[in-house]
Each structure stands twice: as C-alpha cells, then as structure tokens.
Structure 1
Amino acid sequence: MPTTYRLIRCSAVVCLLSVLALAQKPAADEIVANQNRIPAGKLENGVLNVQLELRSGAWRPEADDGPQLFVQAFGEAGRAAQIPGPMLRMPEGTTVHVTVTNKLKMKTTVYGLTTRPSDAKTGVEIPAGESREFTFAAGAPGTYYYWARTTEPFQVGSLTLVQPLRADTHLNGAFIVDPAGPVAADRVFVINAMFAAADVVHPAFEVVTINGKSYPYTEPLEYMTGDNIRWRVINPSVSEHPMHLHGAFYQVLSLGSFETDTAYAGSDRQSVVTQNLRPGNTMMLEWTPEHVGRWLFHCHFQFHISADERVPVFGRAMAKQYGESEAAGGGHAHHEPMGAMNDMAGLVLMINVKAPSSAPVPASAGTPRKIDLVIEPNATDGKSRTFSCSVREGKKIVASEDKSVGPPIVVTRGEPTEITVVNHLDAPTTIHWHGLELDSYYDGVVGGGAGDQVTPVIKPGASFVARFTPNRAGTFIYHTHAADPNQLSGGVYGGLIVLEPGESFDAEHDRLLVIGTRDTFFDATRITVNGSEELSPMVFSRGARYRLRVINMAPNLGANVQLGSKERPASWRAVAKDGATVPSRLAQPGDAVLHIASGETYDFEFQPDAPGEIPLQVENNFNKSKLVGKIVVQ
C-alpha cells in the first residue's frame, strides 16, 4: 500500500521532478542533524566571527543507520556540515563578520547575511572554490534565517517556487537576533522539504524534516505542566505548513520572514492551535501546558505527517547515487518503535508533559451530556469512497444533508460531555477533537494518553468514549486522525461548535463553510464545501447579521476564499481564529478575502447591505482549481 500510494501521489509532479535527480556522485563527508542548541562562531568584544563552508555530503534524515541522501549543506570550518545550517545567534548591537567558502563544484548564491530588517532581494554570488566576506550590524531583534541556492527558481503552473526544492533545499540556517539584556530560554525549529527523483519503483519522493530529522527521529521534547515554553519556528521550505499543537493554545509572539520580523505586544497577540507558515515565513510562539500526557506539534497537511514520507530503501542500482550503503538497505526495522503516537513520519514533534508529583488530578463535576458519533460507509460515487457521520442524542439523529461530511456537533462551555465514537467502517479509525483543551487520552491520537494509559485505535465494530468539558466557546473541528488519507477526503470530519451557557445554535444566522477535497493531493481539483462538490446558492436576508464559521479540513489544501468579485469584494469583520477571539488589530472590517490552510478555523461577522447575488469562491492556491457558488441576498 505505501508504495502504490507514493506512486499515485507523485504522478501529478513526476514530469516536473524528473529533472531533479541528484546527479553528483556521493561524497564521503557526513552531514549531521542540527538541533539548534549551540550558536555558531565566537562572540568576543561585541563581534561575532563565523566561518561557514558550503559542502556536499551524505545525510540520514531518519535513524543514524537509516537511508541516506546526497545533498548540499552549510557547515562551520573544521566541523561536520549540518542540516539545518549552523545557527547564527547574537544579541542586539553585535557586529557580525561571516566568511563563506564555497567548496561545491558550482556557483552558489547566498542570501540573508545582512543587517535586519532588510529588503535585499538579490543575493551574493560565490563561484566554486572561492570565498566572500560579509560584515554587518545584526540589526533589529527577531527570528530570521539565511539561505543559499545552487539552482534557479522553478515554475510550477502559476506558482514561482523561490525557495529551493532540490539538492540545495537544505542550504539554510537560523539567524536569531536577541534583544539586549536577559533573554528567555527558547528552542529553534527549522522546517525543510526536498523533492528527489529515484528509480522506477520510486519515481519521485519528498523528504520533510524538522531540524534535520523526520519523525519519529525528531527530538522528543519533555516539559512540566505550568512551564513557560517559547519556540521559534522557521520555514525556508518551498511549501506552506499549518503548524498545529494538540491539547493547548499557543500565542503568536511574532511573524516574519528571512528579512523582517514583526513582534506583537500582549494585547495584540493572537492565540491559535494552528498557525499557517507560508514559504519563507517565521514565527515565535509561547505556550503553557496544563494537561499531562503525550502530545503532538505537527504540520496539518496529511502528506507531511504520513508514513509515506519515509525515505525509501533503494535497490542496489540506485544505492550509489544516494550514498546508500548495503548495510542500510535491509528495510525499515528501525521504524518499529514508532508504533506509539500513530503511524506517522515527517513534520512531527512529540511532547511529553509531566506534572509535579504533588499536583492534584482535577475531577469532572456534574452529570455528563451523552452523544453518539456514528461513522459509516456510503455507497461509492464511482470516483472515491465517502463516509457518513451521524450525531445521535437520545432519539434525536442528525446527519448532514450531503451525508459525506459530518454534521456540526454543538456543545456548551463548562458542561461535561461524553461522545461515544462508533466505528462501522471496515478499517480502524480515531477521532481528534481539534482545538479542545482536554486530557491526552481523549485527544484522539493513537498512542496518546499519560503513563500506562494509552489511547487505542477504534477497530471496525468497536467504539470509544471521549470525555471532556469544553473550557472556551468557539469554532473547533472533529476529524479522523487515522493514517489513511481517504477517511479525511471521504468526509470523516465536521464542525465542533462550543456555545456559551444559555446560548442556542441559530442555524439561520450561524453558517458553516466546511472546506474539503475529494482527492487527497496538493493539486486537488475536487473541492467541496459542506461535503458537496456543487455549491448550492446560500440565501441571506438583507441587513441581517450572520456569523460565518470557515473551516478547512481538506487533507492537503491551502485554500483562497473570496466573497464578491476580485474587483468588488464583499466586506466582513474577523471575530475569532481557531476559537479564540482575535485582537483588535485584526477585528476591523475588511475585504472578504481569506487564505486558510488545513486545520485552521476563522469566524467572521457578515452583514449584507443590499439585495442581489454575491459570488462565493474557494480556490486551490496550488493549481487554481475552483469551486464557485453564490450568496443570494433577499
């Protein structure tokens, strides 16, 4: 199954990627993973001196004895090259002196070795075998990166891929400027994604990593409840990455790029469970764990956490091209220990949160509300399998009109709730309560829980009871967290609405736009809204005030949503992101235009002021496929 799935996944891009074979012969030099704990160079008397080299070598993105690839990377002189490159970190006010020596057999263009902020769009070219020196003031505090390329930007359809995606993908490193004075402890995580061509069994494959490793070989993280945790996340890769944290919200302290960074004061910070990082974006975040157990921080694109992201083991004919030793060609036995936390790979960090031994275990109060969520197969539509989710409470049964997406589950803040998930599929499943702050055991990730209590998979014919008490009102999601992407594209998901006590759900003025796709690829063309590939007109009343809850639960989709035409967009006002109220800087009326990635939710206030028709469009940002409908205002 994984091989077949990989072949299908790559068919849309194999023509593009056939030119991306790593043509150079493998070198003996080893390239190691960089956990970004130790800054490069020597800081003395206010001057940071760093000697960097551009090299090629063999890199193992998984186990230390696993498959290896031949790539290019930065390294400090006299030390092994690293992925990501050596971290440049210095306090504000530092003078930086960097010498870069190009030991590759081709010219290289280097970017980002300059004072921040910067708007230098052109890099510095370094011919093969030559060196260049860079001297500059560090500039403004922030989270940045430096990078280089040995290839030219690539055009894919309507997209120009500025970031490298071939053997030079990993030519980048963190560039951190700390404010003067004491600095809070943090961690730095750099995301990379490369495409490579292989043999006829694997025509193309993608390798995605955090700090040079793919899960389950990414660094496991351990914290205590109540810890104040700060991370800097850097995305020099060619893809956007919606980064999702399970079981807790995090505050976005800053957003930026390799050149600039914008820090937000306390009242201007947005709380999220998923923050999308577009190519070249950076962010700094802060969070405090309140629940013990095993948790995940991961990209919400299904391909980027799929076991299909594992590096293939090559046949002998291709082994030399990729530096694969015969000793490492015997399979993936080193993946067996990853059984916990589901069958995943790629952009995943596992977090183990513990509590002080004296910490009391809170008890739920009150009689729980009991709901059943029943998952069943639908008859095939001839193109792909779909599934039906129905919500049952006593004698009341609710299913979506389309029956290939789940109906909204509406619960109340502060009310203990038990949802029994009943699996009538012919395959295992599990349901994740996306955005809720709950015990790890009920979060819906196989292998979750705390200590010896381990979250099970829900086998065919079995059920599982999830228990939680929602602690905030807002728009959330329930969705399958099974490894099979066809469950997600088939409709095993829906909106999860938490109301304030005393409120009731007004289906007339509270409208959901739940975005999905029937195909599982980044180049998806079968876009759905509320489970349908044909968007029926939505009827609104002139002057009435509506709450639009926009959810993206497609497996792999960066969606562009627009109300109105490009020339005459409608207007709306942001209310919430991922269930958390937006800061005042974002809560202003504006054009009804939104980019929303998988795993994100947005709430908008919308009040049409004139009768007529308002175009509604959902577009795949990758290939510009569209689903078009309209709002009829009466």
Structure 2
Amino acid sequence: MRATLVAGLALLAVAAPLPPPAAPARARPNDNRAPSGALRRDTLTLRLEARLATWHPDGDGAPGAVVAAFAEVGRDASIPGPLVRVRAGTTVSVVLRNALADTLRVHGLHDRAATPGAATPDDAPTPLVLAPGASRAVAFRLEAPGTYYYWGTSTGRPLELRTREDAQLTGAIVVDPPGGSPPDRVFVLGMWADTVGRAAVRRHRVLAVVNGRAWPNTERLAYAVGDSVRWRVINATADLHPMHLHGFYFHVESRGDGTADTVYRDGVPRLAVTEAMSIGHVIALRWVPERPGNWLFHCHIPEHFAPRAALGLPLATGASSSHAAHTERPEHAMGGLVLGIAVRDTTTGRAVAVARAAAPTRELRLLVRENVGSTRDVPLYGFAAHARGSAEPPPDSGRRVGAPLELTRGEPVRITIVNRLAEPTAVHWHGIELESWYDGVPGVSGAGRRIAPMIAPRDSFEVRFTPPRAGTFIYHTHVDEERQQDAGLAGPLLVLEPGERRDPAVDLPVLVSSPGGFDAEVHQLLLNGMTAPPPLTLRAGQRYRLRFINMSVRRSGVILMVTRAGAPATWRPLAKDGADLPPALRAPEPSRRVVSIGETLDVEIVPEAPGDSLAIEVRAPPRAGGRRFARWPIIVR
C-alpha cells in the first residue's frame, strides 16, 4: 500500500505542470538625457551587459515583449541602450558581458579619430564577438566631435537586416567639442518588424519607436517661441526614414554614418522640412519655433506612423482604418515613429493657437470627392479646386493626383475644404509655415481646448494662411494616409513671387505617386497620376523648371533622373523642400538624385539640340514583378 502511494505521488509530481518562468525584468525607455559610466579626468569607465528584458513600447500598462537589450551593470536594461557622452579627447574603457544564450556581436565601440584618413570597406572596424556568458574588455578614444552609435546582434545579421528580437540592441555615442555643446536632445529611432521594408511582402508586425516608445506614448516636447532647438537623430533601424517637421524649416548641421560625422561648413546652410535618413545614418539639426501651438516630427512613410495595435500588430478586424478606429480620439489615428511638440507663447507663457492671418485677398474651395470608378475596396479620390460662384468642375475618373494649387507669397488666402467623401479626412499643407490650428493634423493641431477635428463627411473646414516664401510644396490628406493618399489625395502646392505668373509650358510639376494594395500594382510608379504620360515637347536652348514631388506611399525613396539616350543628362539644382539652395549647391551636376516621400526637388534643365533623346525617369529599387520605373519621354524641337 505504501509503495503504491509513493508511486502515485511520484507520478503526480511528474505530471504536475511547472510554473511558467518568470519574465525578465522590464527595460525602461531611455530619453538619452543622462550619460552612463563613471568619468575620471579623461577616461570614462563603463560596464555594459547584453541581456533579455521585457519591453513595453506602448506604455507601462500595455503588453510587453522579451527582447535583447543593453544595460549598465547593476542597473535596469534600457531601450535604447545606455548613452555614452563625453568631450573630445576622452578614452572610453568598457567591460562588456554577454548574458544572452546566443553569440553576441557588437559594433561601434572603436576609435573616432579627429582627422580620419580615406577609409575603405576593408578598414571598417571589426566587431567584438562574445560567446554566451563571456566578457571582454575594450578601450577606444573619441576625438572627433559628432553623433555616433553602437549596436549589437545575436543573430549575426548586418544592421540593414536586423529586424527581430535583437533589433533594440543600440545605444547612442555623442562626442562634444572640448568646450562643450549647446543644450540638445538625442533621439534614437528603432523598429521591430517581420522583415525589412524593401521586401516585397506584406508585413504583419511593424513597430516603430523613438527612444524606445511608440506614439502616442512617445515623449511630448515643450518649447517656447524663439527657443534654439537642437536635436541629434540616429536611425538604427533596417528601414529608411524621411523625417518631417510640421510648420517650420530646420537646418541640417551634420550628417554621419556611425563611423564618421561630417559638419556642413558655414555659408552652405542645409534647409529642409523633410530629411531622408538612410539605414544607419545620423543627423544633427537646429530649428527655431516661431509660432505657438502643437506640432509633429515624424517619419513620412505611412506604414511607420499608421495606428496599430500593441507591439506593432494590426488593429482588430473591423477597425482596420484609422478613421473607423479612432474617430472619438483622432490623435490616436497615428502610431509609431511620431514626436509631439508643444510651443508656448512667450508673451503669455501658455501654448495658444491664435489665427493671426490677415483678411484674405483670395478665396478658394477645395472639394474632396470620389472619382468615377471608386469602390470601397479600391477607393479613387480626388481634390478639385472650385472658385466661388462658378460651376463645380466635373468629377475626375480613375486614379489621379490633385491639380497644382497656385498661391502668391505674401498674399493671404482662405481655403474652404469641403468633404464629399463617406469618411472623415483632413488636409495638411506640407512645408507651409502657418498657424498650428490650420496645419491639418486632427487631434493635434491647435492648442489647449482648441484642437482641430477631422473633417466629417458632408462637413467643411476653413484654412487661412499667408505663404511667407515662394517654392514647391505639397497638400495632402493627414487621415488614414495608407488608404487616402493611395487613393489620390495629394497634389502640388506652388507658391509664386508677387506679380509672377507660372507658364505651364516651361514650369512643370512632376508628382510621383504609387497605387495602393499589395498586388502587382504596388510596383507601379505614377507620374502626375499617369502610368504612361504623353510625350513632352520641349525646345532646344530653352530653360525649364522641373518641380519633383515624391508622394509614393510605399516607396522609401525613388531615384529621379533626366536621361539622354539612357544615361544621366545634366541639370542644375534650384531648391529643396521649397527653400532655394545657396549658390554653392546650385552647380550643374549629373541628373540623378534619391528623393524620399515628402521631399521636393526643383531643378533646371536646358535641352541642347533638336532631336535629343531625353526622358524623365523615376526608378525604384528592384522588386519581384510589376513595374520598376516610370518614364516620361521628351521630344526636343
């Protein structure tokens, strides 16, 4: 009997389920304000560890995921990893331990010489390789001021393929000049996705973060009118990110690749409202908030800032579109790689949204309508400019883009947006310096209790602004961008000098867009809404201005060219994002530039002789199937 009882108890012990293993400790979001390590004289001592941690990118109360993260020994792991920030001439002494179950490779913990020589791919510093449980000491000297980073992988993948659970193994390195740097902020962009964005497959998980958090849980930045704002931005992801600032221009002061950082010389300012950040690249930028209210800084690829469920998963069935899911809280109609900015008025100390625009001297109506052939599954939408008192233009058909809207610098304008769609919408005036209330981001634009709403079906919204500069800009939807921009809600916004009239025969906007859906059409590129535009007829010796605008929703970047017999011809750059380039950057060059979504580029071309075989070509990275480029032939007379 006793033997039977013992055997039964033993069987129960074997069969009883084991308690689940305890989840790793939480990784805290790192705002990169506090440097890590212990600094004594000219040496920083740091003990780093790579270990598993539970990451909550959507907020402390949201679901978490176990990922690899860096930590300072004796402290919580953080995403991004501990900040290394020192003055030039400092030696950094690191003891690194691998507490992961896989071999760890760490890049970026190496010298940054003050005068680096001409590097070749063979000169790239070798990574530190640590077996599970191993430790290793390394010392390196940081002499060149700039923005850098270190990163690790437990899968052996290069940075451009690091998309999974080791994709948060990144930390910032900042080297200040000997005299120190003005106050700034450091933002590390991160992603966790099924695969890289350039893969020709639909991605189930797409989680994009800034300093370890996704919107609307990212940090809200606060400034006063007139502040000098300096940011360092690090793209440690496997995707390109065109970063767009609403309402203001910024100066790009330097660009780097993690190993070297190039400061732009005085006299060659780099003004932009959207700056493409390639994989592994960094920028330092400076801007001055000139008007109060709420603003955004975000990646312009809709997939990277569309609303998603926790941990980057798709929204629940039946709530797949942002206007359906978040009509009650339109600020939640975004997610991912977004920073919110509140600017307060220095005269009152509060963030206010006061429409100070003068009485308009010009009035327009902008109709948002369905085009002929639109269906719920394949929406085809259009913008139509309508002058008061005149007959409405007939609806367009098929997939198109908005016609150019022409305004005048210094002339106040009132635009009434009339929504004839069956879903909410909004219009953002991309690159225009205007009051926050009119910026076109529902749930964000404005301030205090006066926050701009979505424009409901059969409703309207009045926008007032006075364009302060002439140039090439964009008007486009800022609601459910993956659906509505694909459907055609984007167009050129051209601001001319007072007294100037645009001659469409010599001044040509070229808006690049792409149809929606993950079928064969996703590989198409459209030029002014057409897959095969009719030939342009140009005259030899005549100067032509081409205004390129990239609004191809699913394209990280496209290659713009004007070719002669298949090879790049010559053009002269004139402007970027609506800002004239300085003389030093306007020299003739081979006509080949990469332009990302949300960027504009103005160039000048001069056909040389009758019969020249010219064409405007827009190319995208090769993919399986579909069209890989668009071509607009040119006939020279």
> TM-score band, normalised by the shorter chain?
0.7 to 0.9
Q: Shift of the alpha carbon at 1:204? A: 3.1
Structure 2 match to 1:349: 339
Structure 2 match to 1:391: 385
What is the TM-score of this pair, normalised by structure 2? 0.86
State the SS of the aligned residue for 1:230. strand
Distance 1:279 1:585, change over 3 A: farther
Match of 2:102 among 101, 106, 114: 106
Residues of 2 paired with 1:585 and 1:226: CA distance?
29
Preserved CA contact (<8 Å) 1:55 1:104: yes
Greater relative contact order (Cα 8 A, min sep 6): structure 1 or 2? 1
Is 1:66 equivalent to 2:66 in the alignment? no
Distance 1:614 1:444, change over 3 A: same
Preserved CA contact (<8 Å) 1:26 1:58: no
Structure 2 match to 1:188: 186
Is 1:288 equivalent to 2:284 in the alignment? no
Residues of 2 paired with 1:521 and 1:412: CA distance?
40
The superposition leaves residues 486-535 of structure 1 with CA deviations (integer Å, 9 ceiling, x where unpaired) of 21011111000011111111111111110111125699312111011223
* 5+ long unaligned stretches in structure 2: 1-19, 117-122, 196-201, 315-324
Residues of 1 paired with 2:310 and 2:513: CA distance?
25
The superposition leaves residues 83-120 of structure 1 with CA deviations (integer Å, 9 ceiling, x where unpaired) of 11111110011111111111111111111111115752
The superposition leaves residues 103-158 of structure 1 with CA deviations (integer Å, 9 ceiling, x where unpaired) of 1111111111111157525312111111122212102000111111122337xxxx
Structure 1 match to 2:27: 31
Structure 2 match to 1:372: 365
Distance 1:55 1:367, change over 3 A: closer
Residues of 2 paired with 1:338 and 1:298: CA distance?
22
Residues of 1 paired with 2:449 and 2:401: CA distance?
34
Higher mean C-alpha displacement, 559-568 vs 90-99? 559-568
Residues of 2 paired with 1:362 and 1:460: CA distance?
25
State the SS of the aligned residue for 1:487. helix
Preserved CA contact (<8 Å) 2:110 2:125: no
Distance 1:246 1:342, change over 3 A: farther
Residues of 2 paired with 1:522 and 1:584: CA distance?
44
State the SS of the aligned residue for 2:456. coil
Distance 1:338 1:604, change over 3 A: farther
Provide the alpha-carbon RMSD of the alignment.
Answer: 2.7
Match of 1:123 among 127, 131, 138: 127
Q: Shift of the alpha carbon at 1:385? A: 2.1
Structure 1 match to 2:544: 546
Residues of 1 paired with 2:211 and 2:192: CA distance?
13
Residues of 2 paired with 1:476 and 1:203: CA distance?
31
Preserved CA contact (<8 Å) 2:372 2:398: no
Q: Shift of the alpha carbon at 1:291? A: 1.1
Q: Shift of the alpha carbon at 1:427? A: 0.7
Distance 1:171 1:562, change over 3 A: same
Structure 1 match to 2:572: 573
Residues of 2 paired with 1:284 and 1:223: CA distance?
18
Residues of 2 paired with 1:210 and 1:35: CA distance?
9
Distance 1:604 1:336, change over 3 A: closer
Is 1:148 equivalent to 2:146 in the alignment? no
Residues of 1 paired with 2:519 and 2:124: CA distance?
31
Preserved CA contact (<8 Å) 2:56 2:65: yes
Q: Shift of the alpha carbon at 1:433? A: 0.4
Residues of 1 paired with 2:251 and 2:333: CA distance?
29
What is the TM-score of this pair, normalised by structure 1? 0.87
Structure 1 match to 2:228: 228
Q: Write the letter of the residue equivalent to 2:165.
A: A
Residues of 1 paired with 2:479 and 2:528: CA distance?
21
* 5+ long unaligned stretches in structure 1: 1-23, 155-160, 315-334
State the SS of the aligned residue for 1:304. helix
Structure 2 match to 1:164: 162
Q: Shift of the alpha carbon at 1:265? A: 2.9
Is 1:450 equivalent to 2:481 in the alignment? no
Q: Write the letter of the residue equivalent to 2:337.
A: L
State the SS of the aligned residue for 1:441. helix
Structure 1 match to 2:92: 96
Q: Shift of the alpha carbon at 1:403? A: 6.8
Residues of 2 paired with 1:542 and 1:348: CA distance?
47
Residues of 1 paired with 2:519 and 2:242: CA distance?
14
Structure 2 match to 1:9: none
State the SS of the aligned residue for 2:433. coil
State the SS of the aligned residue for 1:303. helix
Distance 1:517 1:121, change over 3 A: farther
Structure 1 match to 2:83: 87
Structure 1 match to 2:635: 632
Distance 1:58 1:124, change over 3 A: same
Structure 1 match to 2:498: 501
Residues of 2 paired with 1:253 and 1:396: CA distance?
49
Higher mean C-alpha displacement, 86-95 vs 390-399? 390-399
Residues of 2 paired with 1:79 and 1:196: CA distance?
30
Distance 1:484 1:240, change over 3 A: closer
Higher mean C-alpha displacement, 411-420 vs 482-491? 482-491
Structure 2 match to 1:604: 603
Distance 1:379 1:144, change over 3 A: same
Distance 1:66 1:619, change over 3 A: same
Q: Pairwise mapping of residues 396-407 of structure 1 onto structure 2 (< 5 A)?
A: 404-407=400-403
State the SS of the aligned residue for 1:137. strand
Residues of 1 paired with 2:605 and 2:169: CA distance?
45
Distance 1:458 1:338, change over 3 A: closer
State the SS of the aligned residue for 1:89. strand
Q: Shift of the alpha carbon at 1:313? A: 7.7
Distance 1:26 1:573, change over 3 A: farther
Q: Shift of the alpha carbon at 1:594? A: 1.4
Aligned residue pairs: how many? 582
Higher mean C-alpha displacement, 521-530 vs 257-266? 521-530
Structure 1 match to 2:405: 409
Residues of 2 paired with 1:337 and 1:428: CA distance?
8
The superposition leaves residues 238-280 of structure 1 with CA deviations (integer Å, 9 ceiling, x where unpaired) of 0000000001111101111111111113321211110010101
Structure 1 match to 2:418: 422
Q: Write the letter of the residue equivalent to 2:382.
A: S
Higher alpha-carbon Rg: 2
Preserved CA contact (<8 Å) 1:75 1:85: yes
Q: Write the letter of the residue equivalent to 1:233.
A: V
Structure 2 match to 1:469: 466
Q: Write the letter of the residue equivalent to 1:42.
A: A
Preserved CA contact (<8 Å) 1:164 1:238: yes
Is 1:298 equivalent to 2:276 in the alignment? no
Q: Pairwise mapping of residues 462-541 of structure 1 onto structure 2 (< 5 A)?
A: 462-519=459-516, 524-541=522-539
Distance 1:100 1:342, change over 3 A: same
Q: Shift of the alpha carbon at 1:616? A: 2.8
Distance 1:586 1:402, change over 3 A: farther
Distance 1:264 1:520, change over 3 A: farther
Residues of 2 paired with 1:35 and 1:405: CA distance?
40
Structure 2 match to 1:50: 46
Residues of 2 paired with 1:365 and 1:153: CA distance?
56
Distance 1:178 1:38, change over 3 A: same
Distance 1:77 1:585, change over 3 A: farther
Structure 2 match to 1:212: 212
State the SS of the aligned residue for 2:46. strand
Q: Write the letter of the residue equivalent to 2:570.
A: S
Distance 1:522 1:554, change over 3 A: farther
The superposition leaves residues 430-479 of structure 1 with CA deviations (integer Å, 9 ceiling, x where unpaired) of 00000011111101110210222111111111111100000011000000
Residues of 1 paired with 2:336 and 2:169: CA distance?
19
Q: Write the letter of the residue equivalent to 1:346.
A: G
Residues of 1 paired with 2:568 and 2:326: CA distance?
52
